[in-house]
Amino acid sequence: MTTFSPSAPKAAPEVNHKTVLSVNVNKVALLRNTRHLDIPSVTRAAELCLQAGAHGITVHPRPDERHIRPADVYEIAALMKDWPHCEFNIEGNPFQNLMHFVRDLSARGLPLHQCTFVPDSEDQFTSDHGWNFPDDAERLKPLIEQAHARGVRVSLFMDPVSEAMAAAKAVGADRVEFYTASYAHPGSAAEKKGVLSRFVLAGKAAAVMNLGVNAGHDLNRDNLTAFLRAMPGVREVSIGHALIADALELGYSAAVKDYLRCIDEAFIKVLPATPVSVAR
């Protein structure tokens, strides 16, 4: 198996793309589920986010249906047919209910562009760790193959561990999604710098293995730009809790545009000041 030494990383390919934004609408469903009135509409929220410029929609339909329900998955998939340049991403544990949706959406001819395999237990409060290699490797391989057979890209939810990138590639993953809570809640400034360096090294390791890099969990308007400046190769950020919380104050359109602005700011190159000639 190919190994990667974080002490001597190879040069990553030059970045020729800008990070895209996928909005996770789970929290809209959570609010709806507190009553039996079917409001707010999860599908309408997804549509408003797409209209505002979001590049994709993410859902995580947990087995207990605490937020996203099966009907939401199919309604949003149908909506995505009207947005052919945007992507639908479903997160979940492939050993629970995720593969059912992968198979069923394909059978119904509904779009699914990416599935993100997350190692959550059924009663887990929120995603809080990535896959463990080599322990999970053999179990994941056939499920990744099933997704690929239906034309679905597979991303593995991972901690930023450089040495694990070769294993993720070996099981057939197309991308990894870095779990970013450690970046969002680092403690001291020195700890934040150390944490960010681990993400940078893991990103370089992923690039060496020709793995695309996504990122998500607790990213917000305050920390997104700095993260992407350090990690310009990130292909997609999936943001839900913070963006939906912002949307409660700003509205969906303004909130999405704010996050797109954060992404844009990360890719603005700082140019040297142009000397000014003073007429004499």
Set 55, 67, 177, 217: catalytic member: 217
Overall average pLDDT of the 162-188 stretch: 92
Decide if pLDDT at 127 tops 70. Answer: no
Rounded CA separation 54/192 (Å): 28
Q: Is residue 65 part of a domain?
A: yes
Between vectors from CA 259 to CA 257 and to CA 263, what angle results, nearest 5°? 110
Decide if pLDDT at 182 tops 80. Answer: yes
Digit-coded pLDDT (tens) for 128-143? 566 787 788 889 999 9
Digit-coded pLDDT (tens) for 145-174? 999 999 999 999 999 999 999 999 999 999
Rounded CA separation 228/225 (Å): 5
Number of domains forming the structure of the chain:
1
In this prediction, residue 228 carries a pLDDT of 96
Does the annotation mark 217 as catalytic? Answer: yes
In this prediction, residue 24 carries a pLDDT of 98
Which residues contact residue 59 at a Cβ distance below 8 angstroms, ignoring those fewer than 6 apart?
Answer: 24, 25, 26, 29, 68, 72, 73, 76, 89, 90, 91
Q: Is residue 45 part of a domain?
A: yes
Rounded CA separation 98/107 (Å): 15
Q: Is residue 280 part of a domain?
A: no
Digit-coded pLDDT (tens) for 44-100? 999 999 999 999 999 999 998 888 999 999 999 999 999 999 999 999 999 999 999
Q: Is residue 15 part of a domain?
A: no
Q: Is residue 196 part of a domain?
A: yes
Does the annotation mark 113 as catalytic? Answer: no
**Portion of the chain with pLDDT greater than 70, in percent:** 86
In this prediction, residue 276 carries a pLDDT of 47
Higher-pLDDT residue of 119 and 12 is 119
Please give the residue range of the domain that contains residue 73.
Answer: 20-266
Decide if pLDDT at 25 tops 90. Answer: yes
Decide if pLDDT at 9 tops 70. Answer: no
Set 60, 67, 87, 177: catalytic member: 60
Decide if pLDDT at 8 tops 60. Answer: no
Digit-coded pLDDT (tens) for 231-246? 989 999 999 999 999 9
Rounded CA separation 219/52 (Å): 19
Rounded CA separation 234/263 (Å): 11
Set 47, 55, 67, 91: catalytic member: 91
CATH number of the CATH domain containing 152: 3.20.20.70
Q: Is residue 103 part of a domain?
A: yes
Overall average pLDDT of the 25-37 stretch: 95
Q: Is residue 12 part of a domain?
A: no
Does the annotation mark 91 as catalytic? Answer: yes
Decide if pLDDT at 36 tops 90. Answer: no
Rounded CA separation 151/178 (Å): 23
Q: Is residue 48 part of a domain?
A: yes
Residues in the chain: 280
In this prediction, residue 69 carries a pLDDT of 97
pTM for the full predicted model: 0.86
Higher-pLDDT residue of 82 and 184 is 82
Query: What would the 3-class secondary structure string for 7-73 be?
Result: CCCCCCCCCCCCCEEEEECHHHHHHHCCCCCCCCCHHHHHHHHHHCCCCEEEECCCCCCCCCCHHHH
Decide if pLDDT at 189 tops 80. Answer: no
